[in-house]
Amino acid sequence: MNPAAPIGVFDSGVGGISVLRALRARLPQEDFVYFADNAHAPYGERPDRHVIERSLAIAQQLRGREGIKALVVACNTATAAAIDLLRAAHPDLPIVGVEPALKPAAARTRTGCVGVLATRGTLASARFGALLASLQGQARFALQPCDGLADAVEQADATKIRALCDRYIRATGQFGSNNEDMDTLVLGCTHYPFAADVLRSLVGPEVALLDTGEPVARQLGRRLDEGGLRADHRRPGRLAWQASGPTALLTAAAARWLAL
Ligand code: DGL
At 76, phi and psi to the nearest 5?
A: -65, -40
Residue of 191, 212, 249 to mutate, ligand 1, most atoms within 8 A of C-beta: 191
Q: Ligand 1 mean position to 181 CA, how many Å?
A: 27
Please state, in angstroms and rounded to a whole number, the distance separating the CA atoms of residues 119 and 148: 9
Domain ranges of the chain: 7-98+213-257, 102-210
In this model, does residue 214 exceed pLDDT 90? yes
Taking the C-alpha atoms of residue 53 and residue 256, their distance in angstroms, rounded to an integer, is 30
The CA R_g of the chain, rounded to the nearest whole Å, is: 18
In this structure, the strands spanning 7-11 and 70-73 are: parallel
Alpha carbon distance 31, 8 (integer Å): 9
Q: Which CATH number fits domain 102-210: 3.40.50.300, 3.40.50.1860, 2.60.40.10, 2.40.110.10?
A: 3.40.50.1860
pLDDT at 259 over 80: no
Q: What is the pLDDT of residue 89?
A: 98
Ligand 1, residue 74: give the atom nearest the CA. 4
Give the per-residue pLDDT at 112.
97
- CATH of region 7-98+213-257: 3.40.50.1860
Could you tell me if 47 and 54 are in contact, meaning their C-beta atoms sit under 8 angstroms apart?
no
Query: Whose CA is closest to atom 8 on ligand 1?
Result: 42
CA dihedral 152, 100, 98, 149 (to 10 degrees): -10
Q: Before 215, cis peptide (omega within 30)?
A: no
- Cα 41 to ligand 1 centre (Å): 8
Name all residues whose Cβ lies below 6 A of ligand 1: 11-12, 15, 41-44, 75-77, 119, 122, 150, 189-191
Atom of ligand 1 nearest to the CA of 12: 8
Cβ contacts of 259 within 8 Å, gap of 6 or more: none
Lowest mean pLDDT segment, chosen from 89-93, 155-159, 224-228, 230-234: 230-234
Known active-site residue 146 = no
What's the gap in Å between 101 CA and the centre of ligand 1?
15
Assess whether pLDDT exceeds 90 at residue 234: no
pLDDT at 260 over 70: no
Amino acid, single-letter form, for residue 144? Q
Atom of ligand 1 at shortest range from CA of 46: 9
What is the rounded distance in angstroms from the CA atom of residue 164 to the CA atom of residue 125? 23
- For 129-177, what is each residue's pLDDT tens digit? 999 999 999 999 999 999 999 999 999 999 999 999 999 999 999 999 9
Q: Kindly report the pTM of this predicted structure.
A: 0.96
Going by pLDDT thresholds of 50, 70 and 90, the confidence category of residue 233 is confident
Identified catalytic residue from 75, 113, 146, 165: 75
Domains 7-98+213-257 and 102-210 belong to one CATH topology: yes
Q: What is the DSSP letter of 142?
A: E
- The ligand 1 atom at the shortest distance from the C-alpha of residue 80 is 10
Q: What is the mean pLDDT of residues 65-81?
A: 98
CA 50 / ligand 1 centre spacing (Å): 13
**Active-site residue flag, 75:** yes
Q: What is the arithmetic mean of pLDDT over 233-260?
A: 91
- Give per-residue pLDDT as tens, 34-59: 999 999 999 999 999 999 999 999 99
What is the strand order of the sheet 7-11 is part of? 95-96, 70-73, 7-11, 32-36, 239-243
Local structure of residue 235 (DSSP, 8 states): S
Packing angle, helices 76-89 and 126-134, rounded to 10: 110
Q: Which residues pair with 218 in a beta bridge?
A: none
For the chain, first and last CA: distance in Å? Answer: 29
